[in-house]
Amino acid sequence: METLETRELRYFLAVAEELHFGRAAVRLGMAQPPLSRAIQQLERRLGVRLLERDRRGVALTRAGETLLHEGRAALDAVTAAARRTSRAGDTETSGSRRTRLVLAVKAADSHELLHKLLDAYAAEPDAVEVEVLPSGTCEQGEMLRDGRADVALMHAPFNSLAGFDSEELLTEGQIAVLPAGHPLAARATLSLAEVTDVPGLPLARWSRDGAYPHGPGPEIHDQTQLAQLIALGRTVAVFPDSARAWLWAEHTAVPLTDAPPVVTHIAWPAHSRSLPLASLIRTATRL
């Protein structure tokens, strides 16, 4: 059975993602001829054609598409192993070992739950340092896969839990966050249809998998930007009810009667054997 080196995977992924040998070579910081030779050697060793080359450019074959998908996952796994190993055995100047966990959370969501979790875990006798890593919409899964995070608070139906172990922690409704002076802000409740087509107040657009959905609303890059745009009367956003914790005086939250409930999970890689992580999860399920 043939094996692949991480160097070969990085070379191939650069070409597969750029679909151009010149751009891939610049991205890798190398000359184009050795990159072309490396890909040709990889194809000969695997016994398949990975790329179709012609005057119009480069295209992936079916085998190339498979290696693109599998190669990304493999490199993420290698990177994750290195990052988690480093965190599990950080050494201070005194020579003692300092283990820490990285917890990915969507910025401003589950504020009260997060406080309770961190306080309860800190009281455990075997607690280690927990670094809270704020993330954008739907980024927690990627952070778990590539090792930037050891554990995450994720929200169904917005986050995919596929490939992770998880436990349910909280179920809550959703709210529309509106400018305080807008006529709809005086309503006791609203429907999703009423907030997705408001004249002059388009729905905010968050990036998902690196792309923004189509629509007239502003592209949102962080929580502060969103909060300011809502306060200025430029957009409206939909959030879990727990997002009330970060609202400004210029915002009003109105419950949405027909929005699906949001279920907050604590999620972690299925293969994890970390004892500190297991302790954190036990603490979370007791809240």
199-241: pLDDT as tens digits: 999 999 988 766 888 899 999 988 889 999 999 999 999 999 9
pTM reported for the whole predicted model: 0.73
Give the mean pLDDT of 115-132.
95
Give the mean pLDDT of 270-277.
90
Q: Is pLDDT of 270 > 60?
A: yes
Say if residues 78 and 6 touch (Cβ distance below 8 Å). yes
Q: Is pLDDT of 253 > 50?
A: yes
Say if residues 235 and 218 touch (Cβ distance below 8 Å). yes
What mean pLDDT value characterizes the chain? Answer: 90
- 88-92, 114-118, 266-270: least confidently modelled range: 88-92
Tokens coding 45? 């060793």
Q: Which pairs with CB-CB distance under 8 Å and at least 24 residues apart come from 89-93?
A: none
